[in-house]
Amino acid sequence: MQNYIADEGRDLTVAGRSKSMRVLVIEDDRETAQFLQKSLKESGHAADLAGDGETGLSLAETGVYDVLIVDRMLPKLDGLAVVKSLRTGGLRTPVLILSALGEVDDRVKGLRAGGDDYLTKPYAYTELLARIEALSRRAAPEEQVTKYVVGDLVLDRLSHRVSRGGEAIVLQPREYRLLEYLMKNAGQVVTRTMLLENVWDYHFDPQTNVIDVHVSRLRSKIDKSFDKPLLHTVRGAGYMVRDGAG
Amino acid sequence: MTVLDKFGASVWTSTPFRLAALSIAAFLVTAAGIAGFMFWQTNDLLTEQVLAGLRAEVQEMRHMEAAAGSASVAAAIKARARPEGPGLYFFADKSGRKQAGNLSRQPPELSSEGGGTFRYEREPGDERLAVALPISFSDGTRLLVGRDIEEQRVFANHMRTVFLLGFGLLSAAGLAGGLGAGRLLLNRIDQINAASRSIMAGDLSRRVPVAGSQDELDGLAGNLNAMLDRIEQLMGGMREVSDNIAHDLKTPLSRLRNRAEATLRDGGGDCDAYRAGLERIIEEADELIKTFNAMLLVARLEAGALDGQAEAFDIGGLVRDVAEFYEPLADEQGLDLTVEADDGARVVANRHLVNQAVANLIDNAIKYGRPETPDAVGSIRVTLRILTETVEIAVEDLGPGISADDRERALKRFVRLEASRTKPGTGLGLSLVAAVARLHHGTVRLEDNAPGLRAVLVLPRARQGISA
């Protein structure tokens, strides 16, 4: 972990360089909602608030938002019902469901209702931010990308080959999938939980730093013999693949 | 009623008393029916005998009159009619005047044609019951042939008295028995009620008294006591669990608080010091949340069923994947992780939970499985054994292991062994594995690996029908 960028966590907006998003937060707890609004604003995004399901639904239906953050338990109209009726109405805006219920079956229910991601309370803001940024990117029209390129690092999704500066790098299948996910979200923070869920499909909290070990193994293969590191540790948040100079 | 009132209204409404009263009533009705029938039959038989005698004598008199005229009948009557005998006669001429016989007059109750019962006085004041048949002869004379049935009547009266008295006695005895049984039972039930009330009031150590008579009430008391034992044991378990939870949450909470206080005190206006302090506070809070989540999960698993989250999958692949996931970590820690898990055994389970359980076992082995001798090479062996009914996922390490006394405790809900308090993680790993096993009707065994710990997660294999 020798390569982490000292205080990048402080400055996620700049580090993330993601486009400014317009976010709708449907959350009945005013304090949480205002915290999110303020934090999102500081991260360079605009956030509107809705205090109940009905208001949230009518705002969301305008279609002007890039991402919706929907609390699961809401007055007037339950969060899952909001998502369901949005989806029935044909709206594809990505939805992150927030819930105090965190078991696997709750997650499954949330995703089945039409949510794109599910985050259990209490959560770290960095985790939420990383996830909605990943969601907004997922929603962007993604033509069949066959190649990810970050700096001189190239991952070919057809031949499953990875090379840096023209030099082939041999990766284990799992390392390949780890790098693929990181490069797919290049320029954005990817949290440990996101890696765990998306690369391994594990939905539990490993009690040890096992993800860090996987990442540092990958790093030793793609960064070690090169001057410029591409795989960065974002303190307090997770990891990011980024071409430092760009 | 006033004397009986002191038994208390509850005796009268008690079940045994009601049962006794009901059975006595049924018994009395039946007995009265039988006795009445017998009485009627006996009476009938006796009456019939008397009437048969009378008819025979009437016949004899008719023959006598036909053969020798009414004068001979009168003579015979004179001979037969004794003042105190059972036979009663009254022979009258055409005008109804008495010619012979021991009856002083034609009984007024009887018409001249039909027979029947009547009363007569044998001696003044001695009124007796009799029955008679009349005969009219061709010359206009009339004869009344009768029998004294006073003794039969007395016998019948006597019988009636005996029956009534008997029934009265039986009813009284039955009701008294019912009352007695009711009081006896009520006393025992009152004892049970008193014990229950004091238990409800909070004295969980109190027990229902057992009389030692081995009857149903003793059985009931015994069962109640067994239930109370179980409840007390569960309450004890709950208390232990809440103590453990309190301990596991309070320790990090006070650490969190201390850290916040220290940051406030030592920051001294230095932004970076505050930042560092706050970051550590967030780390503490995250640890706390993890512990809390793990507890919540264990509690939900203990309470829940699999409700539709189960799927059939090959356990071999899962074990290999989890082992592969941990291999770099083990490697980094200088531990040699090997896995022997073949395909071919399917289980029906919640995949995520089994993932987590196997992960926890390997995680534990990495955390605690380092050999005690410094130069020894540690190794962790993960194996899958496929048996006919079950699969056994074993994780073996060469560490210090868990002492035999602590092994059972380690699997209990929310129990952290001392050793786990100094290591990262919630310390609830084994509790969670045990909860996952229980949820899937499996078990967890902790064994001595000599040296080290051998933790075995046993899960039932999918039956052929389900595995498809």
Mean pLDDT of chain B: 83
Q: Which residues of B touch A192 (CB under 8 A)?
A: none
Taking the Cβ of residue B428 and every Cβ of chain A, the question of whether any pair is shorter than 8 Å is answered with: no
Is this complex's ipTM strictly greater than 0.90? no
> What integer pLDDT is reported at residue A6 of this predicted model?
36
- Count interface pairs A-B at CB distance under 8 A: 65
Higher-pLDDT residue of B371 and A93 is A93
- pLDDT bin (cut points 50, 70, 90) of residue B86 is confident
Nearest to B350 among A104, A206, A213 (CB): A104
Contacts of A205 (CB under 8 A, 6+ apart): A193, B290, B293, B294
Check whether A143 has a pLDDT greater than 50: yes
Nearest to A205 among B279, B293, B296 (CB): B293
- pLDDT bin (cut points 50, 70, 90) of residue A141 is low
Over residues A203-214, the mean pLDDT reads 86
- pLDDT bin (cut points 50, 70, 90) of residue B424 is low
Taking the Cβ of residue A187 and every Cβ of chain B, the question of whether any pair is shorter than 8 Å is answered with: no
Question: Parallel, antiparallel, or unpaired for β A67-71 and A22-26?
Answer: parallel
A120-to-A52, A107, B466 alpha-carbon distances in Å = 19, 9, 33
Contacts of A120 (CB under 8 A, 6+ apart): A98, A99, A100, A101, A102, B293
Residue extents of the structural domains in chain A: 8-139, 147-241
> What integer pLDDT is reported at residue B108 of this predicted model?
77
> What integer pLDDT is reported at residue B5 of this predicted model?
44
Closest CA to A125 of A12, A2, A246: A12
Q: Which residues of A touch B429 (CB under 8 A)?
A: 207
| DSSP secondary structure, B240-260, as one string | HHHHHHHHHHHHHHHHHHHHH
Please report which residue ranges of chain A form alpha helices under DSSP H: 12-16, 30-42, 53-60, 79-88, 104-112, 125-139, 173-184, 192-195, 210-222
Closest CA to B385 of B282, B440, B458, B321: B458
How far, in Å, CA of B321 to CA of B356, rounded? 12
> What integer pLDDT is reported at residue A246 of this predicted model?
43
Nearest to B426 among A120, A207, A210 (CB): A207
Q: Which amino acid is at A178?
A: L
Over residues A128-140, the mean pLDDT reads 84
Closest CA to A148 of A188, A178, A180: A180
Residue whose structure tokens are 């991952």:
A155
Nearest to B363 among A120, A203, A207 (CB): A207
The pLDDT tens digits of the residues spanning B187-203 come to 888 888 888 888 888 88
Identify the helix (H) or strand (E) that includes residue A241: strand A238-241
How far, in Å, CA of B127 to CA of B107, rounded? 13
Higher-pLDDT residue of B198 and A12 is B198
CB-based contact B309 A202, cutoff 8 Å: no
Percent of all residues in chain A with a pLDDT value above 90, rounded to a whole number:
49
> What integer pLDDT is reported at residue A15 of this predicted model?
40
Q: Which residues of B touch A102 (CB under 8 A)?
A: 293, 296
- pLDDT bin (cut points 50, 70, 90) of residue B3 is very low
The domains located in chain B, with CATH, are 11-170 (3.30.450), 216-301 (1.10.287.130), 308-467 (3.30.565.10)
The pLDDT tens digits of the residues spanning B290-327 come to 888 888 888 778 776 666 678 899 999 999 999 999 99
CB-based contact B290 A202, cutoff 8 Å: no
In chain A, how many H helices and how many E strands? 9, 12
Query: Is there a contact between B182 and B15 (Cβ–Cβ < 8 Å)?
Result: yes
Query: Is there a contact between A240 and A190 (Cβ–Cβ < 8 Å)?
Result: yes
> What integer pLDDT is reported at residue B387 of this predicted model?
92
Closest CA to A18 of A135, A115, A179: A135
Q: Which residues of A touch B279 (CB under 8 A)?
A: 236
Over residues A2-21, the mean pLDDT reads 46
Nearest to A205 among B290, B332, B353 (CB): B290
Check whether A166 has a pLDDT greater than 90: no
CB-based contact B329 A174, cutoff 8 Å: no
Mutate to test the interface with A, among B274, B356, B430 (most CBs of A within 10 A): B356
Going by the DSSP 8-state scheme, the letter that residue B422 receives in this structure is G
Q: Both tokens of residue B153?
A: 């009547």
Most confident of B8-22, B283-297, B377-391: B377-391
Query: Is there a contact between B185 and B220 (Cβ–Cβ < 8 Å)?
Result: no
Query: Is there a contact between B143 and B134 (Cβ–Cβ < 8 Å)?
Result: yes
Query: Cα A35 to chain center, whole Å?
Result: 19
Check whether B422 has a pLDDT greater than 80: no
Contacts of B150 (CB under 8 A, 6+ apart): B128, B129, B130
Over residues A217-228, the mean pLDDT reads 89
Closest CA to A79 of A103, A104, A60: A60
Using CB atoms and an 8 Å cut-off, which of residues 132-191 of chain B contact chain A? none
Q: Both tokens of residue B165?
A: 């008295």
Query: Is there a contact between B78 and B100 (Cβ–Cβ < 8 Å)?
Result: yes
The pLDDT tens digits of the residues spanning A42-85 come to 999 999 999 999 999 999 998 889 999 999 988 888 899 999 99
Nearest CA-CA distance, residue A209 and chain B, Å = 8
CB-based contact B296 A102, cutoff 8 Å: yes
User: 3-class DSSP state for residue B313?
Assistant: strand
Check whether B379 has a pLDDT greater than 70: yes
Closest CA to B366 of B459, B428, B456, B452: B452
Q: Which residues of B touch A209 (CB under 8 A)?
A: 329
CB-based contact B324 A207, cutoff 8 Å: no
Check whether B2 has a pLDDT greater than 80: no
This prediction has a pTM of 0.65
CB-based contact B359 A214, cutoff 8 Å: no
Q: Both tokens of residue A144?
A: 């069949």
- pLDDT bin (cut points 50, 70, 90) of residue A14 is very low
- pLDDT bin (cut points 50, 70, 90) of residue B420 is low
> What integer pLDDT is reported at residue B444 of this predicted model?
93
The pLDDT tens digits of the residues spanning B33-75 come to 888 888 888 888 888 888 888 889 888 888 888 888 888 888 8
> What integer pLDDT is reported at residue A10 of this predicted model?
37
> What integer pLDDT is reported at residue B12 of this predicted model?
72
Using CB atoms and an 8 Å cut-off, which of residues 194-213 of chain A contact chain B? 200, 202-210, 213
> What integer pLDDT is reported at residue B7 of this predicted model?
46
CB-based contact B309 A214, cutoff 8 Å: no
Q: Which residues of A touch B357 (CB under 8 A)?
A: none
Q: Which residues of B touch A204 (CB under 8 A)?
A: 352, 355-356, 359
CB-based contact B286 A205, cutoff 8 Å: no
- The topology under which CATH files domain A8-139 is Rossmann fold (3.40.50)
Q: Both tokens of residue B147?
A: 């029998």
Mutate to test the interface with A, among B327, B337, B426 (most CBs of A within 10 A): B327
Nearest CA-CA distance, residue B297 and chain A, Å = 7
State the CB neighbour count (10 A cutoff) for residue B49.
12
Closest CA to B439 of B417, B420, B413, B408: B413
Q: Which residue of A has its CA nearest to B305?
A: A105
Closest CA to A208 of B359, B424, B338, B416: B424
> What integer pLDDT is reported at residue A2 of this predicted model?
31
CB-based contact A210 B279, cutoff 8 Å: no
- pLDDT bin (cut points 50, 70, 90) of residue B426 is low
- The topology under which CATH files domain A147-241 is Arc Repressor Mutant, subunit A (1.10.10)
Mutate to test the interface with A, among B275, B332, B367, B426 (most CBs of A within 10 A): B332
State the CB neighbour count (10 A cutoff) for residue A188.
24
> What integer pLDDT is reported at residue B247 of this predicted model?
78
Q: Both tokens of residue A209?
A: 């730093």
Nearest CA-CA distance, residue B356 and chain A, Å = 6
Taking the Cβ of residue B356 and every Cβ of chain A, the question of whether any pair is shorter than 8 Å is answered with: yes
